[in-house]
Amino acid sequence: MNSQNIRPTRRAFLAGTGAVGFALLASGGVKLFDGSAGAQAADESNVNGWVVIRADGSILIRFGAAEMGQGVNTSLPMIVAEELDADWSRVSVEQVSADPDGIFGNPSFGGMLFSAGSSSVEGYFTALRLAGANARRVLIRTAAAYWGVVPESLATDAGHVVKADGERLGYGEVIRLPAPSVAIDEVSEADLKPRAEWRIIGTDKDRLDIPAKTRGEAIYSIDLRLPGMLYAAQLLAPVEGETPNLISDEASRQVAGVTDIVPLRNSVAVLAETWESALAARDLLQVEWTETSGFRKADSGPEMSELIRAAESGEGDAVVWEERGDASKALAAGGQILSAQYQTVHVYHAQMEPLNAVASVDDDGLGAEVWLGSQSQSVSIGIAAGVLGTTPDRIRMHAMQMGGGFGRRTVFARDLLRDALLLSRHAGRPVKLMWTREDDVKNAWLRPPTAHRLDAVLDADGNITAMRHRVAAPSIVEFAFPNRWNPEVRRDLLVMEGTESRDYAIPDFRAEHLLTPRRSRVAAWRGIGWGPNCFARECFMDELALATGSDPVAFRRQLLRESPRGLAVLNAVAEMSNFGTATEGRALGLSFAGYKATMGAGVAEVSMEDGRFRVHRFWAAVDPGIVIHPQNYLAQVEGGILFGLSSLMRERTTFTGGVIDQNNFYDYEPIRMDEIPEIEVRILESGGHPSGGGEIGVPMTGAAVVNALRSLTGKAPTALPLGEGVP
């Protein structure tokens, strides 16, 4: 059931002697469950409600998003707890693993359990507020019936219903009242707490996942051990689309603990009693691979040359992404036209936990229990059901915490979980399938490369009157999410978001996507299109400012004259960094960026020494509307900045003959601790609907550093990564 289609109805509050579970629908409706002995056990096992209030006054709040280190296991329950007026010290939380009744889905993804693109708080915010408020109204009206007073005379205070004379009932006491059923009116947005009364949202609660992670007690799927479990290691196809011909497994079968060797569609798997045995036996397999895959001819260097030619010529399969006015006509008319070209390369997600899955298929082969750290419980359950040819209700999913996602754990289950299920069904035992770091690197789904051509028309006063932003890149959506790809429309938001430049007052504007053939597996990567697209645009903005003799801040102020939020973050970061007065031997570079509804601006301070650049400080001002959990939001922005800095310094994936050249972190090197700059982030809340923080740090970094290098050296790099120095 799609949670967006659920109509709120009047519900009855059924009081009993145990706990009460509230199914707080994503639409804001509320369904209440009998808390009597026996009934509650069934409700909890069925995972039907966001909130469970126990007789001792403790509260369990469930959340539908996937926890991958971004802190949603704290921020989302905080939203419910605020409107519920809960005692936060009595709150525990639980991640939802499945959603058979359509209660927990993210409205931003059509009611699916799907976590990506900084969409959790943005998508769930209003629904969770309404849900918490509905539950609070139920408690108030039940207490009012018991006291014989009108509900309007009662208030709540940190887990208590309070009478005007000060008499109090704890929520645990309320759910034990022998009250009759009470008709409950649904809460509307007008009934929600005014911001001045918030006492949980906007405060720095301790993240609930940190203690267990710090003590090493947090359990990830890679940690899981089940009775009778086998370990599986795969010898994976070196090139996409190839299949194995097992020449000999005799030596592998002689390794102690090996139970079986299983050829699969794109691999040969070793099943063993220990992981060490599985790995040792894998290395002894003799396998020949088909050499008919078209990706055997794929090389990353020629692919980039192809993209550059497409972006420069404009010839090919073009799709208009955004158009205001008529930029093509304005460019054709001539005048002062400036042009520039930029590139970004393939990059790997580099999440700390390599991919893994645990599966235990039922004896009849038509059901399974799975343990998986996935960015989408819904997608994973659907994949598992499809693999086994069964229905989703036969898949018992355990959603595990993840050691990083960044887009890699959105659809990976269609390969990894598929194979774990096939192996478990074959062996008749639980199987843990793990990839080594080398497996993960060699079989990465990469952020695609991009080539950008930007053209702008300037008037006599140095104002941009028209601009075109052309992006040449293969489609992510067509490969990674084929069910969402419309071959008639061919709009790829994962590549093109961030090219719109709507906050800049440019009368004639056009953004277009030149679709090119895919040469590798591609996927969304932190910041999605905003990272490469803002890099290219903001480098171009500094080139235009230089050409017109304008200061980078003043030039952007003129462009942002119709965007109060954009001006606010720009002015804030200019003030924070004291832009225009750099320390001797260093230079400052500016970038304005966004991510969906979040506004941001960044300034980098860089220096050059022995031909190498160093980023010493980075300032950022961000406006996400409303911040639920400030200290966590700051951590998310800082993490995004480091992600962006890392990708502009060295991160690069290349491939030759369809085989990825890199192997591990020694030749795919992220940013090191001694390279991390001082980071200062200022949050400017405009009070609008909350938007994400996990991505906004990435789009502002590349251009800020490049623009600083231009100021320092007079040279402006046009491609990421920059490498050890300035090209």
H or E element at residue 304: helix 300-313
Last residue of a domain, one of 388, 407, 434: 434
- Examine the pLDDT at 2 and tell me if it is beyond 50: no
Q: Assess whether the previous peptide bond of 721 is cis (omega < 30° from 0).
A: yes
- Examine the pLDDT at 226 and tell me if it is beyond 50: yes
Are 343 and 359 in a shared domain?
A: no
- Examine the pLDDT at 22 and tell me if it is beyond 80: no
Residue 14 has a pLDDT of 29
Q: What is the DSSP letter of 636?
A: H
State both tokens at 298.
């794929």
Are 266 and 316 in a shared domain?
A: no
pLDDT 10s digits, 622-639: 999 999 999 999 999 999
Are 112 and 249 in a shared domain?
A: no
Last residue of a domain, one of 179, 207, 235: 207
Inside any domain, residue 609: yes
- Examine the pLDDT at 6 and tell me if it is beyond 90: no
Are 230 and 125 in a shared domain?
A: no
What CATH number is attached to the domain comprising 584? 3.30.365.10
Are 584 and 601 in a shared domain?
A: yes
Q: How confident is the model at residue 35 (pLDDT cuts 50, 70, 90)?
A: very low
Whether 424 contacts 368, CB under 8 Å? yes
Position 634, amino acid = L
Inside any domain, residue 151: yes
Are 369 and 464 in a shared domain?
A: no
* Overall average pLDDT of the 310-338 stretch: 95
pLDDT 10s digits, 106-121: 999 999 999 999 999 9
Residue 610 has a pLDDT of 87
Are 604 and 549 in a shared domain?
A: yes
- Examine the pLDDT at 259 and tell me if it is beyond 50: yes
Last residue of a domain, one of 382, 404, 434: 434
Q: Which of 171-180, 310-319, 383-392, 396-405 has the lowest mean pLDDT?
A: 171-180
Are 192 and 68 in a shared domain?
A: yes
d(CA 392, CA 677): 47
pLDDT 10s digits, 407-421: 999 989 999 999 999
Residue 511 has a pLDDT of 98
Inside any domain, residue 727: no
- Examine the pLDDT at 727 and tell me if it is beyond 70: no
d(CA 63, CA 82): 14
Inside any domain, residue 709: yes
pTM: 0.92
- Examine the pLDDT at 33 and tell me if it is beyond 60: no
The average confidence (pLDDT) of the chain is: 91
Q: How confident is the model at residue 593 (pLDDT cuts 50, 70, 90)?
A: very high
Inside any domain, residue 665: yes
Residue 183 has a pLDDT of 62
Residues in CB range of 6: below 8 A, 6 or more apart: 25, 26, 27, 29, 102
Are 333 and 409 in a shared domain?
A: no
Inside any domain, residue 21: yes
pLDDT 10s digits, 683-714: 999 999 999 899 999 999 999 999 999 999 99
Whether 240 contacts 293, CB under 8 Å? yes
In which domain, by residue range, is 475 found? 300-347+446-720
